[in-house]
Chain A
Amino acid sequence: MNKQDQWSFSVMDKLAGELSENQVDELQLEMAEDIDKQEEFAFLAQTWEDLANLDQKLEVPHSLDHQFYEALNQSTNTNQSRIARLFHKYSSYVVVRSAAAIALLCLAVLFVLQDARPAKAQATYTSTILSMPTSTSKIKAIQSLPVTMTAEQATQELTSIIANDKNSNVRLAALYSLSKNYLPQNKSLRKFLKQQMQNETSPIVQVELLNMLIENHQSKESIRTLEQLLQNRSLNPLVQEKIQKDLPVLRASFSN
């Protein structure tokens, strides 16, 4: 940036009132040292002021309104008639293309619906089973889970039934189905089984949970869970006996 440009910026900023106090001081100092700049600025400032006084705000002549709206109407009509002409010219083409597009759209919707239907059914499967009137119908429904269900979905449905159904036979059926068909070795299922061991009230279901935990989900944490359960005085003697029998086996497997 050369000196002349810097002078231009300062002058124009000053005229527009965009200079800070410090910048104004600098500008005045610069002008004090140069009489030509002082004179130039005085003239420009006066001119700047006079230009504002010179301005006249003119009213718009009515003829402008008339001309404009006439031109606008003409343009709108032309565009509309152009669209009409285009439609007339390509109407058969438009109809064929529209029909094809609609047919494709319908196919896409059907495909999406077909794909979405089982997912929707699966989402409500647990609630459907839980709302069934008899335990027999619930057990039948558990034994015939849709084949379209993934192992993950089935596990989710069955654990939900185990945790929520009031009938121990239903819970047992869900547990059998889970151990027989779906046994993903994941932490969340192990965590669920341990949690359920503490929540479960039926000794038979507790023993089955214990079996699942020892057979398929062995971990050091399982040992701690079983030890904690043994502390529970209200624990069923049958379950207590089972734990006492299985615990040394489990400890031995980890000590090796």
Chain B
Amino acid sequence: MNNSIQNSMHAETKITPLASLTDAMLMQCIQNGEQEKLGLLFERYKKKMYNFFMRLTRGESTLSEDLVQNTFLRILKYSNSYQPNKSFSTWLYQVARNVFYDQCKRKSNQEYSVEEFGHREPTTEMKPMIEDDNRLHLLRKSLKELSADKREIIVLSRYEGLQYKEIADILDCSENAVKVKAHRALKELKVIYSQLEKNQAI
């Protein structure tokens, strides 16, 4: 068999690489019953989601793992509510938030406050290896003291690399409301920081 025939046969049997499938395409596959395609979305977003939950839960690694898993299983369960003309990433964050707040409610029902996430000892993963900068150390502590909704807005605007418009879509509010919330969160962070700084001086 000559090379040209071999090449043409190879071209015919060439399969579309899965990596070329967009998120929306994969979601359509899932909607059509190809549930195993969820694995591809998981691989694409697991790190982002894990870090998102780690920030929201203030370093609860086991809980973050559970939340990631629940998020993706919820995607499977409610795949039909996804609209292909909308951003998958935005929808994913919306689902993730719902999963997180459901978890908070469940904890709250078990007389375990939402705010208690931060008062537990963080895992070693979140502890800085060398805390040579006092300001950063105080800021880290301040962030953990921040309320869940304010921490969330800072996580979304500063760590997730999202624009105000995208955050507005996720939170289902206006872009201006996002800016006001983010500003208030930063100001509260400032108050907590100043308090911690004062305590440290004493």
Contacts and interface: CB of A to CB of B under 8 A. Distances in A.
- Tell whether A pairs with B: yes
Given A47-B186, A50-B136, A75-B76, A16 B69 contact: no
Interface string A210-230: 000000000000000000000
Interface residues of A, number: 38
Contacts of B150: none
B120 interface: no
Contacts of B76: 72, 75
Interface in B177-191: 179-180, 182-184, 186-187, 189-190
Contacts of B38: 72
B4 to A, nearest CB: 42
Contact of A68 (B47, B68, B179): B68
Interface string B163-194: 11000000000001001101110110110010
Contacts of B154: 51
Nearest to B47: A60
A155 to B, nearest CB: 50
Interface stretch (A4-12, A133-141, A161-169): A4-12
B12 to A, nearest CB: 31
B179 A48 contact: no
Chain B contact patch, size range: 35 or more
A76 interface: yes
Interface string A67-108: 111011001100100000000000000000000000000000
B107 interface: no
B32 to A, nearest CB: 13
Interface in A34-59: 40, 43-44, 47-48, 50-59
Given A50-B139, A55-B159, A61-B65, A76 B182 contact: no
Interface in B54-85: 54, 61, 65, 68-69, 72-73, 76
Contacts of B47: 57, 59-60
A44 B50 contact: no
B158 interface: yes
B140 A54 contact: yes
A29 interface: no
A39 B10 CA distance: 66
Q: Name which of B76, B186, B190 has the most chain A CB atoms within 10 A of its CB.
A: B186
A75 B35 contact: yes
Nearest to A83: B33
B164 A12 contact: yes
Q: Is the interface of A mostly helix, strand, loop or mixed?
A: helix
B65 A64 contact: yes
Given A12-B164, A71-B69, A76-B36, A40 B187 contact: yes
Nearest to B135: A50
A63 interface: yes
Contacts of B193: 47
Given A64-B69, A67-B69, A57 B51 contact: yes
A30 interface: no
Interface of A: 1, 5, 7-9, 11-13, 16, 18, 40, 43-44, 47-48, 50-61, 63-65, 67-69, 71-72, 75-76, 79
Given A60-B50, A79-B35, 20 more contacts: A1-B176, A8-B179, A9-B176, A9-B179, A9-B180, A12-B183, A43-B190, A47-B186, A50-B136, A52-B158, A54-B136, A55-B158, A57-B47, A59-B47, A60-B47, A67-B65, A69-B39, A72-B38, A72-B73, A75-B35
- Nearest 10 interchain pairs by C-beta: A8-B183, A12-B179, A64-B65, A8-B180, A76-B35, A51-B158, A60-B50, A9-B179, A44-B186, A68-B69
18 contacts: A9-B176, A9-B180, A16-B163, A40-B190, A44-B190, A47-B139, A47-B186, A50-B135, A51-B158, A51-B159, A55-B159, A57-B47, A58-B126, A60-B46, A60-B50, A64-B65, A64-B68, A75-B73
Interface of B: 35-36, 38-39, 42, 46-47, 50-51, 54, 61, 65, 68-69, 72-73, 76, 125-126, 128, 135-136, 139-140, 143, 154, 157-159, 163-164, 176, 179-180, 182-184, 186-187, 189-190, 193
